Amino acid sequence: MFSSKNTFYFLLLALLISACNAGSNETQTETPAPSPMEGLSITKAPFGESPDGAVDIYTLTNNNGIEARVINYGALLVSLKTPDRSGKMGDIVLGFDSLAGYLGDHPYFGATIGRYSNRIAKGEFKLKDKTYTLAKNNGENHLHGGPGGFGRQLWTAEEMKTEDAIGVKLTYVSADMEEGYPGKMTVETTYLLNNKDELLLTYTATSDKTTVCNLTNHTYFNLRGEGDILDHQLMIKANNITPVDATLIPTGELMPVEGTPFDFRTATSIGARIDNPHEQIKIGGGYDHNYVINKASTGMELIAYIQENKTGRIVEVFSEEPGVQFYSGNFLNGTQTGKGVTYEYRSGLCLETQHFPDSPNQSQFPSTTLGAGERYNTRTMWRFSAR
């Protein structure tokens, strides 16, 4: 039989075990998982006056210090700061310090492009046996929605939050026959920043008449923040490009990239083959071509990435689109200055997620026709890191 002394010790041990378990449970209760919204913030401030009204700038910041700045003129991304491998923040996109630069002549820095991104041959297309005539603002062709395209319009802005992100939704109503396009179109561009260091761009549109629609963003990246982009490493998940004629309009064919300067299926320095005497390189003055993405599905997936070895910065590009226009800044010529930098030849690169150029005139390409009452919806996402 147990003595009273043994009974006392067993009771004491039981009390100690119970206290330890209670303490353990209490500790778990006091350390809940951090909120996905922790550290996310958005601020609004005046940014100047456009011919159509006041322009505001929205600053989105996450808990790692990544900062995206968007204005409601042109639904433009004017600044994007990310850390390098040592944690130093730097602006990785080309642009201006004030609204004046965006109101003047500029090469679409950070702009939302529409109704139709890229080129339409000879400034015309046909829908339902009717021919529509557009502005010829790129030689004999139509480019990026015309001189009064979406990147030149004042949008209505609204701050927004989701379960794990903060952002701004910008809305523009394009009148029937604006820039020659049929249908009254309501367009929304949304920028959302989260704590996974991702910036999500969503585009939606509806029209009351059948029209064409192909929206994108025209941000110029330079992950070092200065100099040219020739030492940036680039990967594009594409086996083919759509080769172009002398006016940069697709010929309608697909050209394999294998064995050519256009092969970026493995990360390669942009400058390694940019001056190759390949006929397509000569036409574009470098890279200015639509890549046909090797899509595994219609959903969003990794299609490309850029890496700059000096800073370690990386931008991964995810998209739902069948193509991406890789442009190596061949027409930058030192006439634009912003953020204390003169934008010289090839000082920025663009990866414009899109349907193919001139699709309204090329039935073999994926269609860009948007029927009356139908909903256009596409997403692109940039993920930032450094190593």
Report pLDDT for 24.
Answer: 47
pTM of the model: 0.91
Report pLDDT for 18.
Answer: 55
Please tell me whether the peptide bond between 85 and the residue prior to it is cis, using omega within 30 degrees of 0. no
Note whether residue 9 is domain-resident.
no
Note whether residue 293 is domain-resident.
yes
* 215-260 residue pLDDT tens: 999 999 999 999 999 999 999 999 999 999 999 999 999 999 999 9
Check if the beta carbon of residue 150 is closer than 8 Å to that of residue 181.
Answer: no
Catalytic residues: 218, 352
* 180-208 residue pLDDT tens: 999 999 999 999 999 999 999 999 999 99
> For residue 6, what are the CA distances in angstroms to 16, 20, 236, 338?
15, 21, 75, 83
Query: Terminal CA-to-CA distance of the chain, rounded, Å?
Result: 68
Note whether residue 30 is domain-resident.
no
Report pLDDT for 1.
Answer: 42
Note whether residue 13 is domain-resident.
no
Note whether residue 11 is domain-resident.
no
Note whether residue 20 is domain-resident.
no
Whichever domain contains 319, its CATH number is 2.70.98.10
Q: How many domains are contained in the chain?
A: 1
- Residue-range definition of the domain harbouring residue 214: 41-386
Note whether residue 32 is domain-resident.
no
Per-block mean pLDDT, blocks of 10 residues, the chain (387 long):
48 50 50 82 98 98 98 98 98 98 97 98 96 97 98 98 97 98 98 98 98 98 97 98 98 98 98 97 97 92 98 98 98 95 97 98 98 98 98
The angle at the Cα of 341, spanning 338 to 346, to the nearest 5 degrees, equals 100
Check if the beta carbon of residue 172 is closer than 8 Å to that of residue 179.
Answer: no
